[in-house]
Amino acid sequence: MKMTLETPIHWGDKIITELTFEELTGKTLRSLKIHNLEFGDLLDVAARLTNHPPSFMDKLTGKDATKVVEIVGKLLGNGTST
């Protein structure tokens, strides 16, 4: 799944305009605490899925960060509701 950033991120010598999300795996979810998920937890999952460090996610605008979390939520599906 791909997402175009509304506000590109300057990262090193690159300008990142798009994020590509890999398929969710057990390794990605291993450290995720299902209960009491916080926004930052989902950004951490997004960092793993897009092969960027958490510090990259910190540079996202609020609008882009919200879209990223929505995508992670869709990828998680209803698995967090139990």
H, E, C per residue of 15-71: EEEEEECCCCCHHHHCCCCCCCCCHHHHHHHHHHHHCCCHHHHCCCCHHHHHHHHHH
Average pLDDT over residues 16-36: 84
Band the pLDDT of 80: cuts 50, 70, 90. very low
Q: Is-contact 29 48, C-beta < 8 A? A: no
pTM, to two decimals: 0.83
Whether 64 shows a pLDDT value over 70: the answer reads yes
Backbone angles phi, psi at 16, to 5 degrees: -90, 120
By the 10 Å C-beta count (0-12 exposed, 13-18 middle, 19+ buried), 50 is classed as buried
